[in-house]
Each structure stands twice: as structure tokens, then as C-alpha cells.
Structure 1
Amino acid sequence: MKSPDLPKNEKSRLAALSALNILDTPPEDRFDRLTQMTKQILNVPVAVISLVDENRQWFKSCIGLDASETPRDISFCGHAINGDDLFIIPDASQDERFADNPLVENDPKIRFYAGCPLKALDGSKLGTLCIIDQRPRQLSAEEQHTLKNFGAIVERELYTIHHATQDSLTGISNRDGFILLAQQQLNIANRQKTPITAIFLDMQASSFDSDSSHNIDNVIRVFSQNLVTTLRDADLFARLSERRFAILLHDARLDQAADFMDRLKHTSQFAHDNGEATAAFTAIHFEVDPFKHLTTDILLSDAEQLLNEKIKNRPLK
């Protein structure tokens, strides 16, 4: 068996995949419909939208196969992302790269595989739309064209997710992105029994020295960039509205949030006409209750109620 080689742009490829914020998200009808149509039109038992992560291939949609991911080192898709065209294996049992692969020798006993690479906007290959059969076969020129067309549709849907959940000013997640990703973090934390601490920030009007939209945008942008430098890769940061932000600190207790707030005070600087100024904000933080905060909606409701109460009682200056 030959394990797939790493693409030459592996670091930037993984960054592009991470930027989509799609890994480990729940199934979606729009992707399931595409794999179902691909399966039916090309007359195969299995169709999969597979995204190749650092050590696994994860299935955003999988029709005909009872799995959500497999190790990358035995994946067919890991090979497919190293090329620009369709990657086709007519009979894996007769191919020296795959003949003794566990996915060939054992269930699902792959014989035929065809994968269409899915590209990010920078050209990186994120994964594939692939089809699988338990018997050897070939793809006609027309069938290859069909698979490529469905792959292009999947790519457009991936782009849509990225733009729909990203704040255009700061580049971080927007409110919709937070709802999607926070639910993912809550589910993982509940399974792994790890703590999450939530922080909600509201920038005060005194942070802005004029009413110009350019000034307001600049302050918000720099404030967000500075805040990002205090976070870890596993933490979630989102802009919920014009001046309101949310942070979920992964695997963090309440005392760690206090340490984070201290660091934030030293990094919340932004360019000012007269030099440097400090962004003023109101913040609340609390440890997420795994028995109460089962959904992002409940978490958001509790947090914003607490934050609004603190703002209401904030001393006037």
C-alpha cells in the first residue's frame, strides 16, 4: 500500500480548509442532495464529499457508506488532491498502490474509485467529490464530465458557506458563523467533558473619536486584530454585531478567562489621530454550563442578557 504524498502547499492548503469553518459541522441538505444526485445519475452505490484534514479525511456528506471519516494515510482522496484532474482507479485490487489497502481488503471493499478535486479560491485542493463501487468499472467521457460538473457545484456551495459566515470588515466569524461553530464546540465539549468559558464584549462609544464610518471601521478592525493575537487556534472569536463580540475559550476554566481579560487590556490599542488610544469595552464572562447551554441559542440569550444588564448599570462618564 502506498500512503498519499503531502501536497507541496500543505500548510496553506490546511489554512484554506480551516478558514471554511466547516469541519465537524452537522449534515446539510444542500450537500446531501448533491451526493444523492451524483450517486443516482452515475449509478454507483456510494457518493461522498470528503475534506482532507491533517490526519483524516472527513465526510461532509456521505451517501451509501456508514462512516463519518477515515484515516488520511489509507485514503484514496489523499491521492486525488495531488492532481488537478479526476483521479480514477478502475480496479483497486489490481493497483499496487491500493491492493492491500484496508479499505480494499475489508469493508467497504472498494474496487472502483473516482474523485474530483475540490478547490479553494487560492487553488488549494480541499478534498473531493468522489464515487465508489464494490465492482471494477470505467467512467465514460460523458460520466467524467458529469462528475466534474457536480464537483464545481460543490465548490460553489463551499464558497457560499465561507462568505455567509465571515464578517467582511474583520475577517472573523459573523453572528451566523458563531451560531454554527459554537454549536460544534458545545457538542465536542459535552462529548469530551472539557470546560468552555464564554466572554462577550461590547465596545463603548467612547472608543470612537468621530462619527465617520472610516474611523469606526478602523477602530473595530484593529481592535479585532489585536484580540486575535491573544487567542489560541482552538478558541472561537466572532463579531455578533457592529460593536459586539463573542469568544469561546476552549478547554478553559473561569480563572483562565480572567487571565485572558488582563492580556486583552494590554493589547486593545488602536491608531488615533493623536497617537495611540485604548479601546473601551464592557465585558462579561462565565463558564458554560453543559447541562443548561445545550444549544447556541440558549448560550447567546443568557450571555446577551447579562451583557445588556451590565451595560445598563454602567457608570456614566
Structure 2
Amino acid sequence: MVNKNKSPIPTNESERLLELESYNIVDSLPEDEYDDIVLISSHICNTPIAIVALIDETRKWHKSKVGINKESVPRDIAICSHTILNDEILVVNDTHLNEKFCNIGMVTKAPFVRFYAGVPLINTSGFALGTLCVLDTKPNQLNDFQINSLKALARQVITLLELRRNLAQLEKQKHELFALSQTDDLSNLFNRRVLSRELSKELKRSVRYGGNFALMMLDLDYFKILNDKYGHAYGDKAIQKIGKLLKEKSRDTDCCIRYGGDEFIILMPNTNAEQAIYVSERIRQSIDKSGGALDTLSASIGIVIVQQFDVSEKSILALADDCVYLAKEQGRNQIIHQFI
């Protein structure tokens, strides 16, 4: 990586920055746990300034600080940029007597640092993410107890960072598992267990705010014949295409569900009969005109428009099923609707 700053760049800088990014912590809000660590560091080391600093591509960003107001400083004026080059604590008792740091920005300008001690924050993968550092405006030095205490507190910062990342990963996995528990693998639509929850929710919403809603039930015509003739792999491909088609032809507010086998349901919130029939007809025509895996298929569709809300979920589904049965009895590839 080309060094555009005056500060030195670690040899593993690209990987280090990716590792830092994985914590999603830079520019996050203050947290008491980090504030406690800088306060304790300041007291133990008897310095007016203490900082938990993270070094990104251009800045030394202060996750927590005491004795200084700046949220960040340019990386090229920070002594911490040198600290992350090594595994050990960096102590500068008097910056004015140090050729490397006597002209650095934080020394020649506010806060006019004369003393610096920083421990690199090295994570479990071996990357130095930043520092826990203490600063003074006059020359100073640390005894063994203070040095060991600062190192111990730096390890606590790493523990907090790892906990943050692990919790974020667990939360992500929880959301992924929740999504999987609601999704039909083959069609990529919601599965049957979502139906009861969403239908119950829609009934309650309609009672409270008024307005009709509709439930469309779709049964593929001749699907068993297709399966028997071409095999289950071909039938699976047809189910996948139906799932994609239903998502494309329904509305963003509709809830598309694979009810089971070759049956599908679309729950349509705040929808009247005309709107429900329009969406259903668009779906029916799309299936009828499809080629490939859907070439021999059509759809019998039943729609229930719910106008009264003291009905049960079971009665709505039963009426939709009756409509589908009637559509098949009358020749298939058509739509029957009823009000309830």
C-alpha cells in the first residue's frame, strides 16, 4: 500500500483495515465500558489525558477519551500510528527529547503532548486495531505497576471489542435462522407457518382500522401429470418458477406463501374485490402463457374478499379452498371469488 501520509504504515495494512471494519465500531456512539477504562487508565498513570484510539485509513479516531475534546486527529500527526507497528508498549518520557516525535503535530500543536505511553490493541487474530494510550503535557514516566496495569486494561478493551463482534455475529445468525424458519426452501416464498400469524394480524388490523382484505388461493392444474411425466426434479423447477412469478406479479404489500405441494396463497392487505381479481388474473395469465417448466401448467384460483372481521381464519381458508374446487370443476384455469 502506498503511504500518502507521513505516518508509517503496517506491512499488513489492508488486512488490518478489513479486520477493524469487521467490528463496526468506528464512529459509534460513546459507551460506558470504554469510558470507565480511560478514566481508570488516567488515574492509575496519573495523566490528564487517556484515550481508547482506533486507527483507520486516515484518522486516529477516539472511541473513548478523557482530558481531550477532539473526536479524532489525522493519522499522520498521531504517535499511535507508530505504536501499532509493534506488539509492545511504546513509552516516550519527553517528546521534546525524541527526534522521531519532537516535530509531530500533537507535540507542536494542542494538546502539546510531552509524555506518551500507548499499548497496541492487538486482537485475537494478531492485528493492531489501535491503542490504549495516556498522555501528559509535561514530561512523565511510568513505573512497572502502571505499565502492567495499562497493559491489563488494554486487554480489557480487546475483550470488549471481541464481545461486540461476537454479539453482532450472533444477532445476524439469529435473523438468518428466523428468516430460514419462515421460508420455503424450494419456492423461496414464506412457508405455511407464516400464514396463521399474518392472517391473524390482518384480521386484527382490519377490526381496528377498517377496510377489506383478500386471500387468494392458487392450485396448479395438471401438476401431478407434469411430475409423473418429467420427474420430480422437473416439478421442483416448476415450483421455483412459480415462486419467482408470484413475487414479480404480486404487489410489494402482498404476502406470498407456499401453502403446500402445488398450492399457494397470497394475502392481500387493504384490498377490494376489483383489485384482488386484477392481481389474480395477471398471475393466472402469466402462468398460462409461460413456457419451459410451466408450459403444460395452468392455475385454478379462489379469492375470498373479507368484509366482516368476526370470522375465523379456518373459515376464510375453507371458503378459499371451496372456490378453488369450483374453479377446477368448471374447467380449470379460471378464477372464482366469494365474499365473507
Name the TM-score class by shorter chain: 0.5 to 0.7
**Percent identity over the alignment?**
30
CA distance in 1, matches of 2:135, 2:29: 23
Query: How much has 1:279 moved relative to structure 2?
Result: 11
- Counterpart among 14, 29, 33 of residue 30 in structure 1: 33
| CA shift in 2, pair 1:142/1:126, >3 Å | same
Q: Check conservation: 2:53, 2:63, Cα contact below 8 A.
A: yes
Q: Pick from 194, 198, 206: which aligns with 2:184?
A: 206
Shift of 1:203: 9.3
Corresponding residue for 2:145?
142
Larger RCO (CA within 8 A; separation ≥ 6)? 1
Aligned to 1:161: 164
Q: What TM-score do the two structures reach when normalised by structure 2?
A: 0.54
Structure number with greater Rg is: 2
- Contact 1:207-1:278 at 8 Å conserved across structures: no
Structure 2 residue aligned with 1:310: 254
Q: Is the contact made by 1:4 and 1:73 (CA closer than 8 Å) also made in structure 2?
A: yes
Written as runs of structure 1 = structure 2, the 5 A alignment for 1:1-20 is 3-20=6-23
Deviations 1:89-126 (A, max 9, x none): 11111111111122111110001001111012210000
- Residue type at the aligned position of 2:66: I
> Which residue number corresponds to residue 80 of structure 2?
77
Q: Distance in 1 between matches of 2:242 and 2:92?
A: 58
Q: Which residue of 1 aligns with 2:97?
A: 94
More helix by share: 2
The Cα of 1:167 is off from its aligned counterpart by 4.0
Cross-structure match for 2:224: none
Give deviations 1:77-99, integer Å, cap 9, x for gaps.
11000000101111111111111
Structure 2 residue matching 1:107: 3-state secondary structure: coil
| One-letter code aligned to 2:254 | K
Query: Whole-Å Cα distance in 2 between the matches of residues 125 and 91 of structure 1?
Result: 24
SS across alignment from 2:254: helix
Rate the CA distance shift 1:113–1:168 in 2: closer, same or farther, 3 A: same
Q: Distance in 2 between matches of 1:53 and 1:18?
A: 9
Please give the TM-score of this superposition, normalised by the length of structure 1: 0.57
1:5 is displaced (CA, Å) by 1.5
Q: CA, structure 1 residues 84+207, in 2 after alignment: closer, same or farther (shift >3 Å)?
A: same
Deviation at 1:280? 5.5
Cα contact 1:204–1:280 (8 A) shared by 2: no
For 1:119 and 1:14, the matched residues in 2 are separated by: 13
3-state SS in 2 of match to 1:99: coil
Deviations 1:42-93 (A, max 9, x none): 2110010000000111010011101000001111111000000101111111
Kindly tell me: are residues 117 and 15 of structure 1, through their superposed partners in 2, closer, same or farther at Cα, counting changes over 3 Å?
A: same
In 1, the alpha carbon distance for the partners of 2:185 and 2:122 equals: 41
- Alignment gaps of 5+ in structure 1: 176-200, 211-215, 217-272, 284-305
Segments of 5+ residues of structure 2 without an aligned counterpart are 192-231, 256-266, 270-279, 281-300, 303-340
